[in-house]
Structure 1
Amino acid sequence: MLTTIAYGLAIVLNLFCLFLGYRFLFTPRAAAIGYGVPAREDSAYLTVKGLRDGTFGLVGLALLAFAGPSAEAWFMLIVALIPLGDTLIVLRNGGPKATAFGIHFATAIIVLLSAALLFAI
């Protein structure tokens, strides 16, 4: 049961990264508003974020499929720094605290939970 939950959460988080990447690449303005810091739609930074998020999703899925839960756990542990950093970025740029903590910080906690579950199996 723990293995199913650990793998399931990791897969969902990686697919979510792919979704975020897609969103920043194809609907950048809406994605930026949802992120908590609006930006110009033609901003190269939104494309960079889309590529980054999508790549992290693909790497996570590849690690899980080909290297196993231990490698994925380490990946998740390290990747948790991104939503923690996103929390600070939103706060530093005057974004909503609800977005900073309710989306980004909460995501970091869930990613750390995923890492813990993967380490446990």
Structure 2
Amino acid sequence: MLAYGLAIALDLFIVFIGARFLLQPEAAAAGYGVPSPRGAYLSVKGVRDLTYGILGLCLLAFAGAEAAGWFMLVVAIAPFGDTVIVLRNGGTRATAFGIHFATAVVVLISAALLFAV
């Protein structure tokens, strides 16, 4: 149950982040860790995150733990990339590692737990 619970929590969290980028783009961008331009970029990020979260939930519901594990393994690339983006664009190391890198690690743990089911 831990594997499914963690995966569901992560998927719902990324749905929340995506919705926040669509509904409160400036606040969401500030939480991301780097200044960002107004406009389409923030909406694109919102749609991307919302899609990732919904896809993860669908995989859990309809394809099972192994498919969801592969999804988590691949989708961990995004927060690792976010870590690099924050570091290369003037964000703090605390945000880069404390939010984005830590998220990537938790997503990888989720993948491992799903593979173990």
**Could you state the TM-score of these two structures normalised by the residue count of structure 1?**
0.95
Number of matched pairs: 117
User: Structure 2: which 5+ residue stretches go unaligned?
Assistant: none
Runs of 4 or more above 2 Å deviation = none
Whether 1:17 and 2:17 are equivalent positions in the alignment is no
- Look up the SS of the partner of 1:107 in the other structure: helix
**What's the CA shift for 1:43?**
2.0
Find the aligned partners of 1:34 and 1:61 in 2 and give their Cα distance.
Answer: 24
CA displacement at 1:39 relative to structure 2: 1.7
Match 2:77 to one of 75, 78, 81: 81
Q: Deviations over 1:3-46 (max 9, x none)?
A: x1000000000000100001000100010010001223x32110
The correspondence for 1:29, drawn from 21, 26, 31, is 26
Letter of the aligned partner of 1:35 in structure 2?
Answer: Y
Q: What's the counterpart of residue 52 of structure 1?
A: 48
**RMSD of aligned Cα (Å):** 0.6
Q: Identity rate of aligned residues, in percent? A: 68
CA displacement, residues 29-71 of structure 1 (integer Å, 9 cap, x when unaligned): 010010001223x321100000000000000000000000000
Q: Decide which of 88, 96, 103 is 1:100's aligned counterpart.
A: 96
TM-score (norm 2): 0.98
